[in-house]
A and B are shown apart, each in its own frame.
Chain A
Amino acid sequence: MQILIAFVVGLVFGIGLIVAGMTDPARVLGFLDLAGLWNPSLAFVMGGAILVALPAFAIARQRQRTLLGAPLQLPASTRIDRRLVLGALAFGVGWGLAGLCPGPALALLAGGDGKVLLFVMAMLGGMGIFEVLERVRRPT
């Protein structure tokens, strides 16, 4: 059941990205280009998403369980540390260079564009390097 829900959620999420215009890097860069010809549209994407997700998270927090009775799995960390800030910084630079973040990159993958594939391979490579470095730092 959870697997079916996750699949449908992935589909809806991806369609949302396409409808919103997030799957065109030129549009994303247009939003990030404050000094040029600025396209504020993408602020509405985040606004719309939060409008729906905010009450859902409030309900989830109150219930402490899912509607199917399973426990919530929320991130435990609350620390704003160097790791978080440097990570977000690196992500923001990469996002600004290509206009692609992980969701749209995956939603574009099936289109078969070579440049998208190259970006996704490099992104998975970056995530893989993280895993290796984490295992060196904290061997299990």
Chain B
Amino acid sequence: MTIDWINFAPWPALAGGLLIGAACAALILFNGRIAGISGVLGGLLRPARGDIGWRLAFVGGLILAPQLYALAAPLPALHLDTDNLTLIAAGLLVGLGTRYGAGCTSGHGVCGLSRRSPRSLAATIVFMLAGFITVYLARHALA
């Protein structure tokens, strides 16, 4: 294992993590809801009365966040060179997987682990391992 010291940035990562944690904390303490992006988004595809407004507001805030960030500092560069077919497959897998698995990095990885849910711990271990193995196969074993 070789560590990428040039791109290693623990402080911004920690600061961003604290903000994400504060967002999750506010949503459970004020609204009694889990800040899981796939769950909030997925719920919009199963609309229930009185349950749509907060979801749209949350997603709207998330989409507008870069606009607010850009007022203070230039946005970080985006490096996405995955080919289109792989991107479609990845999107389908992420969409299907997060709904069947009832959560993603935020719902299981942050909120679930924070409320000490064994189910979320299991899901987090599985998707992390799957991510590690997929990148290993794509970049090393099959490349």
Instruction: Given A67-B29, A75-B34, check contact A92 B17 (CB 8 Å).
Output: no
| Distance from A5 Cβ to chain B, minimum over Cβ atoms (Å) | 5
In this complex, what residue of B is CB-closest to A14? B65
Query: Given A103-B105, A111-B66, A123-B94, do A130 and B79 touch, yes or no (CB 8 Å)?
Result: no
- Smallest Cβ distance from B75 to chain A, in angstroms? 7
Contacts of B69 in A (CB 8 A): 14-15, 18-19
Centre residue among B79, B93, B106, B117 by max chain A CB count within 10 A: B93
Is B13 a contact partner of A91 (Cβ separation < 8 A)?
no
Do A110 and B63 have beta carbons less than 8 Å apart?
yes
In this complex, the interface size class of chain A, counting residues with CB under 8 Å from chain B, is 35 or more
CB neighbours (8 Å) of A41 from chain B are: 7-10, 12-13
Name the interface residues of A1-31: CB closer than 8 Å to any CB of B: 2-27, 29-30
Given A18-B76, A98-B82, A130-B99, A53 contacting B8 (CB threshold 8 A): no
Contacts of A116 in B (CB 8 A): 78, 80
Contact of B79 among A8, A25, A32 (CB under 8 A): A25
CB distance from B81 to the nearest CB of A (A): 8
Residues on A with C-beta less than 8 A from B132 are 32, 34, 96
A17 to B35, alpha carbons, bound, how many Å? 13
With the chains together, A10 CA to B52 CA distance in Å? Answer: 15
Whether B91 and A122, one on each chain, are in contact in the complex, defined by CB atoms closer than 8 angstroms, is: yes
Pick the residue among B10, B58, B67, B86 that contacts A6 (CB under 8 A). B58
Alpha-carbon separation in the docked complex, A68 to B26 (Å): 11
Interface centre among A5, A53, A105 (most CB of B within 10 A): A53
A13 touching B35, Cβ below 8 Å: yes
Which B residue sits closest to A64, measured CB to CB? B32
Whether A49 pairs with B17 at a CB distance below 8 angstroms is: yes
A16 → B minimal CB distance (Å)? 3
CA distance A65 to B30 in the complex (A): 9
A35-B139, A97-B89, A115-B80 known; A49 vs B20 contact (CB < 8 Å): yes
On A, residues with C-beta under 8 Å from B are 2-27, 29-30, 32-57, 59-61, 65-68, 70-75, 77-80, 83-103, 105-111, 113, 115-116, 118-131
